C-alpha cells in the first residue's frame, strides 16, 4: 500500500509495534527444552493482548500463529509439540499480524543459548546486511539495486543468498504490490521504490546454496543442501530519505 493519510500511517505503525513486541517477547521467552508449539502459543497470547490477529492464520489458514523455523529450515516452519528446541539451535521467528485492518511483518533469526555451532557470525551478518539495505532504500531507487546490494554484501562475507524467497509489499493485506523484492540483482525487475510505499524487506543469508524447497507439510521451506540460513525482516515505509521502520526494536542483537 501507499500511505495517504495520518490514519494509515498510525495504523501501519501500530501493527508494526504489535508484531515487534510479540517477536521480542517470544525471543526472550525461548529456551532449550521448549517445544516450538509452546513458544508459538506464548506469541499468540501476546498478539491477542495487543488486539492483533495472526496474519498467516487469518489469511492463509496456516497451522500456527507464528512461523518458527529451526536450523536448515529457512521459513514457514510449523510450530509443533514434537519439535523441541536445543542449545545452540538457529531459530527463526517470523511474526506477521493484522491490527485494525493494517498489517505488520517482522522476522529475526538468533542462536538459542550458547553458540555451540558457531552460527552467531551468520546471524550478525544477516542483521547488518538488512540494516544496510534499509539505509539505502528511498524514493525512486530500483528494487534490483537493493537486491544487488544484499547479494554483494553476503558474497563479500563468504555467504550466499536464497534466490527463490523474497520480501514483498504489505499494508492492507499481508502480501501486496510489489510482489517480489529479491535478495539478488533481478535485472528484469524495473520496479522502483516510491515515497510512502509500505514494504516488508528481508534477507535470507545462507552458508551455501541458493535455493529452498518446500517440505511435504506444504509449508516449511528448507535449504537445498541443509545449510543454515539466517533471516531478518522489517516492515518499513519508504521516504525521500531514510525509511521509517515500523517494526523497529530497541533490542535487536544477534
CA distance 172 to 3: 11
When pLDDT is averaged across residues 146-158 and rounded to a whole number, the result is 98
Question: Residue 167 phi/psi, 5° resolution?
Answer: -80, -175
Task: Tell me the average pLDDT across 13-23.
Answer: 98
Q: What is the pLDDT of residues 63-112, one digit of tens each?
A: 999 999 999 999 999 999 999 999 999 999 999 999 999 999 999 999 99
- Residues 204, 30: Cα–Cα separation, whole Å: 22
Banded pLDDT at 249 (limits 50, 70, 90): confident
Question: Around 99, how many Cα atoms within 13 Å sit in the side-chain half-sphere?
Answer: 27
Across the range 122-144, mean pLDDT stands at 98
Mean pLDDT rounded to a whole number for the chain: 96
pLDDT at 254: 46
Backbone phi, psi, residue 194, to 5°: -125, 150
In what helix (H) or strand (E) does residue 153 lie, and over which residues does it extend? helix 143-156
**How much of the chain, in percent, has pLDDT values that exceed 90?**
96
- Residue 250 — pLDDT band, cuts 50, 70, 90? low
pLDDT band for position 44 (50/70/90)?
very high
Contact 44, 55 (CB under 8 A): no
**pLDDT above 90 (res 159):** yes
Query: Computed over its alpha carbons, how large is the radius of gyration of the chain?
Result: 17
Residue 12 near residue 5 (C-beta atoms within 8 A): no
Q: Is the pLDDT of residue 115 over 60?
A: yes
Tell me the pTM.
0.95
Q: Are 239 and 209 in contact (CB under 8 A)?
A: no
How sure is the predictor about 116, in pLDDT bands with cuts at 50, 70 and 90? very high
Residue 13 above 80 pLDDT?
yes
Residue 234, pLDDT score: 98
Amino acid at each position: 500500500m501507499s500511505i495517504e493519510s495520518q490514519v494509515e500511517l498510525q495504523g501501519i505503525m501500530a501493527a508494526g509495534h504489535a508484531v515487534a513486541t510479540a517477536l521480542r517477547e517470544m525471543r526472550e521467552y525461548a529456551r532449550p527444552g521448549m517445544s516450538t508449539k509452546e513458544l508459538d502459543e506464548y506469541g499468540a497470547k501476546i498478539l491477542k493482548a495487543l488486539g492483533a490477529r495472526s496474519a498467516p492464520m487469518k489469511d492463509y489458514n496456516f497451522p500456527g500463529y507464528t512461523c518458527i523455523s529451526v536450523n536448515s529450515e529457512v521459513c514457514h516452519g510449523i510450530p509443533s509439540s514434537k519439535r523441541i528446541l536445543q542449545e545452540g539451535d538457529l531459530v527463526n521467528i517470523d511474526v506477521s499480524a493484522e491490527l485494525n485492518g493494517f498489517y505488520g511483518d517482522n522476522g529475526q533469526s538468533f542462536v538459542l543459548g550458547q553458540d555451540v555451532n558457531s552460527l552467531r557470525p551468520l546471524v550478525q551478518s544477516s542483521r547488518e546486511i538488512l540494516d544496510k539495505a534499509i539505509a539505502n532504500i528511498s524514493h525512486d531507487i530500483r528494487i534490483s539495486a537493493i537486491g544487488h546490494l544484499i547479494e554483494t554484501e553476503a558474497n563479500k562475507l563468504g555467504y550466499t543468498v536464497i534466490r527463490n524467497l523474497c520480501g514483498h509489499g504489505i499494508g492492507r493485506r499481508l502480501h501486496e504490490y510489489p510482489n517480489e523484492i529479491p535478495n539478488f540483482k533481478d535485472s528484469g525487475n524495473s520496479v522502483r521504490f516510491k515515497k510512502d510505499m509500505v514494504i516488508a524487506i528481508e534477507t535470507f543469508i545462507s552458508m551455501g546454496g541458493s535455493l529452498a524447497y518446500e517440505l511435504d507439510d506444504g509449508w516449511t521451506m528448507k535449504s537445498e543442501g541443509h545449510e543454515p540460513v539466517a533471516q531478518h525482516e522489517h516492515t518499513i515505509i519508504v521516504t525521500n530519505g531514510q525509511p521509517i521502520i515500523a517494526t523497529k526494536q530497541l533490542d535487536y542483537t544477534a
